Amino acid sequence: MDRVKLTINGKEVEAPAGSTILQAAEMAGIEIPRLCYDPHLSSLGACRLCVVEVKGNRLLPASCVTPVTNGMEVETETDAVVQARKTILELLVANHPLDCMTCDKMGACKLADYCYKYEVKDSPFVGERHHYPLDDSNPFIIRDMNKCILCGACVRACEEMTGQDNLSYLYRGFDRKATTAADVPYIESDCVFCGQCVAVCPTGALVEKSMSGKARRWDIDRVRTTCPFCGTGCNFDLAVKDGKVIGVLSTPEAPVNGQMLCVKGRFGWDFIYNEKRLTAPLIKKNGQFVEASWDEAYDLIAEKFNAIRDQYGPDSFAALSSARCTNEENYLVQKLTRAHMGSNNVDHCART
Amino acid sequence: MAGLATTFGSGAMTNPIYEITEEAELMLLIGTNATEAHPIIGYKMRQAARNGAKMIVCDPRRIDLVDEADYWLQIKPGTDIPLLNGLMHIIIKEGLEDKQFIAERTENYEELKAVVENYPPEKVSEMTGVSVEDLYAVARLYATTDKAMIFYTLGITEHICGTRNVMSIANLAMLTGHLGRPGTGVCPMRGQNNVQGACDMGALPNVYPGYQAVTNPDIQQKFEKAWGKELPNKVGLKIPEMFEAAHEGKVKAMYILGENPVLTDPNANHIKAALEHLDFLVVQELFLTETAEFADVVLPAASFAECNGTFTNTERRVQRVRQAIEPIPGQPNWITICQMATRMGYPMSYEHPSEIWDEMSSLAPSMAGVNYDRLEKSSLQWPCPTVEHPGTPFLHSGKFTRGLGLFQPADHVPPAEMPDKEYPFLLSTGRILYHYNVTTPYSPGIASVWDKELAEFHPLDAEKLGLKEDSKVKITSRRGEVISAVKITERVQPGMIWMSFHYAETPTNELTSDGLDPITGTGEYKVAAVKVEKL
């Protein structure tokens, strides 16, 4: 592939032809602020926060949609650039609730991060504000359209990742809105609740309902694991606060699925706290289950299994292992069946 | 998996998931509703189709991916073999087969040729309901596309001829040389998170970990030495045989870990009777499930969030499962199994699941190179024989696992039970997006939105029966009856009803057929005859 040579902030940089300035900068370890850009989505150039100065160009081009050319000289943090970014942020904040102290996204909000970086506390622009009602019509996602900055990441994720095409832009000008067809709540739309829109949203406009009010992002421990539902093998992080799972966060680092998950993987985890979970061994006495200690349970199991094997032979025993349990648990079950019970009667539901 | 094991020598998905978006020029989907059963794979297929890859969907139901497909072959349920034979007939007649691949890498081609000779397009069209024109178009398109992948799931295997169906798919791929390269292959997608791993671990009646036969004396000796016990060399019972043996009083004790056969296995009433017949049943589970109700002892299980370990996905990728919270029953499952075994007189003691993995991998050459240290850095796809080996994204490069690929031609096998005067509807079953077999109904979030079974009826049938959206019906087969609500949709053909099996209140598997594939013992979930009564 052809390589292009350019300089960014005085540093000589090489990038494959066709790269954008933003990508070339990233390869050189230079981070350019961005709100609407996501490496896994098409580039829109909507938020303009990624503007840079290019020598010989009297405008400030958006680096996420401007391809590199040979000999290009790029500056990413000049006075003009910084001033432009401040103004963009001030315009966004002019119509964005500054309730950051109670916002669930705080700590993972790019808008807040960049306002901090460029010292934007509030906005000199005074004008009309939106007063959209909160959409918490469904059990999984809270939509606060007042916090939407129209970066369009949710629209692109719905179309380009899931292909559900449930979101698009409605209305014009100040009323423009990234929303469902006919602007109905998610629950009344064709939404399949994969939550890709939540994963890519840079502000508090879309948040996981299960995590709302439970923790600030910096208080959450993330534990990388593998989804327990179908056989695709998606990876995600369990969000843990004070020893409890409060949600699932997807990660671009997941080898099979990247940021993508489905409704089960992202929102189905709460079965683990179902009040019907068993917490102690049960022994059936006179047709009724009675709680027992582990010792009692093991004693009874050992006595019965061994006695039946000794009386009727090894093949009077059979074990049903599990396609839902770990490899290690399955290994132990077949080892116990073969080595101790003396039978190859072990199977699992590979057939269902 | 027996089908691919016979033809290729290995029963696993041949090619990796990422090739769907990165390599494939054509996707042939047969008996798989990916956007619901394997959503992320389905989303990738949709992305690929929108980026220009061709898509062919063979399914009796109008699944969502039909909207993305270039061809939708709406076959009659249970006619997969005639369809596949018909495609091969055309390919051979038109000289589109890969002669070099057949000559160098396969055997038994003449027999295949003889069998598919009997499946001319007109006859196949009659049998399957697919037009002659579409048969020609699809046969030519698949045969002449360089990188073509085939995907299937339980729509293929859950028939009495499931193994034959799979072999017919393998025949088609071999006939056209669509194997052993990126963007090709035969990809069965595993339904549950660790079906692949449970098989790999030897939770099967005929093999030890790593698919080593229990009947091979050298292998037996190796495991006897490692485990310090004499081991049986007779192949054990498969699930349906276990329940049959329980009925007959031959199997008297069972241990069931994390499975709910009463809800998920076909002909549920038969399973219940078998469980009742046992002298002693131990169930280890998260919940007091329909199966656990039959137990003498129930051991509480820990969920995936409470255990360390590994799962192996459908593309043979071993990945870590990490404990995020303290186990709700007080201890992880592997410790429970070890303590139980120890009490039974067979001491098992490990400090960490990684030691269990290490013991396993020291005995299973195909996984010998995988260990927890490597998995910390990245997932690995077996075969991975040494710690230097990078893993194997696609199988059968240059040579099949069994050497030469074996053509195993098959003739049409009609379903065990078809609609008749008394039971005029054809019931087919499957999974819906919002649920996964049997854990998701315990998710308060999911259960609050998708809380009951909605049996799918075609509008014409609904009209005939006087049904409206959400009407209640009683659905009866020769084996049982259930009550369900109704959804009216053109996704199903007239005369066909489609249901999931996720809800204890509507235990669909009390209806399903007791027909079994004679080779794998897989139940025929996809075809049963039922009658319907409006309530």
Top residue of B207, B214, B233, B255 to mutate, by most chain A CBs within 10 Å, is B255
Q: How far is A139 from chain B (nearest CA, A)?
A: 5
Facing residue for A350 by CB, picked from B195, B339, B449: B195
Would you say A224 and A235 are in contact if contact means Cβ atoms under 8 Å apart? yes
Residue A116 lies in a domain: no
| Strand B317-321 to B309-312 pairing | antiparallel
Does A263 lie in the same domain as A141?
Answer: yes
DSSP character string of A291-312: E--HHHHHHHHHHHHHHHHHHH
pLDDT digits (tens, 9 = 90+) for B130-164: 999 999 999 999 999 999 999 998 888 888 888 89
Residue A103 lies in a domain: no
Does A302 lie in the same domain as A219?
Answer: no
pLDDT tens, per residue, chain A with 352 residues: 689 999 999 999 999 999 999 999 999 999 999 999 999 999 999 999 999 999 999 999 999 999 999 999 999 999 999 999 999 999 999 999 999 999 999 999 999 999 999 999 988 998 889 999 999 999 999 999 999 999 999 999 999 999 999 999 999 999 999 999 999 999 999 999 999 999 999 999 999 999 999 999 999 999 999 999 989 999 999 999 999 999 999 999 999 999 999 999 999 999 999 999 999 999 999 999 999 999 999 999 999 999 999 999 999 999 999 999 999 999 999 999 999 999 999 999 865 4
Does A304 lie in the same domain as A253?
Answer: no
Q: Which residues pair with B406 in a beta bridge?
A: B107
Nearby residues of B96 by Cβ (< 8 Å), 6 or more positions away = B90, B139, B140, B143, B144, B176
Does A175 lie in the same domain as A209?
Answer: yes
Q: How far is B118 from chain A (nearest CA, A)?
A: 31
Identify residue B217 by its one-letter amino acid code: P
Residue A124 lies in a domain: no
Q: What are phi and psi of B70, to 5 degrees?
A: -80, -35
**Domain span holding position A157:** 132-273
Report d(CA B231, CA B431) in Å as an integer: 39
First to last CA, chain B: 41
- Asked if the ipTM is above 0.85, the reply is yes
For residues B237 and B398, the model is more confident at B237
Residue A173 in contact with partner chain B when CB distance is under 8 A: no
pLDDT at A284: 97
What is the average pLDDT across B415-426? 91
Residues 245-304 of A with CB under 8 A from B: 245, 255-257, 260-264, 267-272, 274, 276-284, 289, 292, 294, 297-302, 304
Phi-psi map region of A30: left, alpha, beta (phi>0 left; psi -120 to 50 alpha): beta
Phi-psi map region of B461: left, alpha, beta (phi>0 left; psi -120 to 50 alpha): alpha
Does A149 lie in the same domain as A49?
Answer: no
Top residue of A245, A331, A337 to mutate, by most chain B CBs within 10 Å, is A331
Inter-chain CB proximity B440 and A261 less than 8 Å: no
Q: What CATH number does residue A183 fall under?
A: 3.30.70.20
Which segment of A129-138, B49-58, B508-517 scores lowest on mean pLDDT?
B508-517
Chain A residues close to B206, C-beta within 8 Å: 344
Let me know how long chain A is.
352
Residue A209 lies in a domain: yes
- Counting other chains too, the contacts that B351-355 makes at CB distance below 8 Å and 24 or more residues apart are B352/B308, B353/A326, B353/A328, B353/B307, B353/B308, B353/B309, B353/B310, B354/B308
pLDDT at B438: 60
Question: Which alpha helices (H) appear in chain A, and where do they start and end?
Answer: 21-27, 79-93, 110-117, 153-156, 196-200, 263-267, 294-312, 327-335
Top residue of B152, B201, B374 to mutate, by most chain A CBs within 10 Å, is B201
Residue A118 lies in a domain: no
Residue A60 lies in a domain: yes
Local structure of A352: helix, strand or coil: coil
- Residue A106 token pair: 């705080």
Residue A98 in contact with partner chain B when CB distance is under 8 A: no
Q: Which of B431, B436, B515 is nearest to B479 (CA)?
A: B515
**pLDDT band, very low/low/confident/very high, at B109 (cuts 50, 70, 90):** very high
Residues 189-218 of B with CB under 8 A from A: 189-206, 208-209, 214
Helix (H) and strand (E) counts in chain B: 21, 21
Does A290 lie in the same domain as A249?
Answer: no
Report d(CA A47, CA A37) in Å as an integer: 8
Residue A145 is given by DSSP the state G
Residue A100 lies in a domain: no
Report d(CA A257, CA A233) in Å as an integer: 8
Residues 221-250 of A with CB under 8 A from B: 221, 223-235, 238, 240, 243-245
In angstroms, what is the C-alpha Rg of chain A? 27
Does A139 lie in the same domain as A201?
Answer: yes
Supply the CATH classification number for the domain B2-189. Answer: 3.40.228.10
* B2-189 matches B425-534 in fold: no
Domain boundaries, chain B: 2-189, 425-534
Does A249 lie in the same domain as A165?
Answer: yes
Q: Is the pLDDT of residue B345 over 70?
A: yes
pLDDT digits (tens, 9 = 90+) for B253-302: 999 999 888 887 777 888 999 999 999 999 999 999 999 999 999 999 99
Residue A344 in contact with partner chain B when CB distance is under 8 A: yes
Facing residue for A256 by CB, picked from B40, B328, B443: B40
Facing residue for A330 by CB, picked from B203, B307, B326: B203
Report d(CA B209, CA B207) in Å as an integer: 7
Does A308 lie in the same domain as A200?
Answer: no
pLDDT at A351: 54
**pLDDT band, very low/low/confident/very high, at B459 (cuts 50, 70, 90):** very high
Q: How far is B134 from chain A (nearest CA, A)?
A: 26
Top residue of B67, B343, B354 to mutate, by most chain A CBs within 10 Å, is B343
Question: Nearest 5 degrees, angle CA B353-CA B358-CA B359?
Answer: 100
Does A151 lie in the same domain as A231?
Answer: yes
CB-facing half-sphere around the CA of B425: CA atoms within 13 A: 30
Report d(CA B440, CA A97) in Å as an integer: 36
With CA atoms as reference, the chain B residue closest to A255 would be B379
Number of domains in chain A: 3
Residue B414 in contact with partner chain A when CB distance is under 8 A: no
Nearby residues of B116 by Cβ (< 8 Å), 6 or more positions away = B85, B86, B88, B89, B92, B409
What is the average pLDDT across B31-48? 94
With CA atoms as reference, the chain A residue closest to B308 would be A326
Local structure of A141: helix, strand or coil: strand
Which segment of A125-139, A153-167, B112-126, B521-535 scores lowest on mean pLDDT?
B521-535
Q: Which of A177, A175, A178, A182 is nearest to A167 (CA)?
A: A178
Let me know how long chain B is.
535
Residue A90 lies in a domain: no
Would you say B182 and B20 are in contact if contact means Cβ atoms under 8 Å apart? no
Q: How far is A150 from chain B (nearest CA, A)?
A: 24
CA quadruple B451, B452, B453, B454: dihedral sign: negative
**Residue linked to tokens 């220009």:** B52
For residues A350 and B465, the model is more confident at B465
Cis omega before residue B383 (within 30°)? yes
**Residue linked to tokens 């190796």:** B222
Does A213 lie in the same domain as A140?
Answer: yes
Would you say A225 and B324 are in contact if contact means Cβ atoms under 8 Å apart? yes
Would you say A37 and A50 are in contact if contact means Cβ atoms under 8 Å apart? yes
Q: Final residue of a domain: which of A233, A255, A273?
A: A273
Would you say B56 and B141 are in contact if contact means Cβ atoms under 8 Å apart? yes
Inter-chain CB proximity B321 and A326 less than 8 Å: yes
B425-534: CATH topology is: Barwin-like endoglucanases (2.40.40)
Residue B211 vs residues A266, B12, B239, B383, B528: alpha-carbon distances, Å: 34, 11, 18, 12, 33
Local structure of B215: helix, strand or coil: coil
Q: Final residue of a domain: which of A30, A45, A77?
A: A77
pLDDT at A274: 94
Top residue of A40, A242, A309, A325 to mutate, by most chain B CBs within 10 Å, is A325
Does A220 lie in the same domain as A261?
Answer: yes
Residue B304 in contact with partner chain A when CB distance is under 8 A: yes
Inter-chain CB proximity A330 and B198 less than 8 Å: yes
Q: What are phi and psi of A236, to 5 degrees?
A: -155, 175
pLDDT digits (tens, 9 = 90+) for B168-178: 999 999 999 99
Chain B residues close to A334, C-beta within 8 Å: 201-204, 208-209
Chain B residues close to A299, C-beta within 8 Å: 343
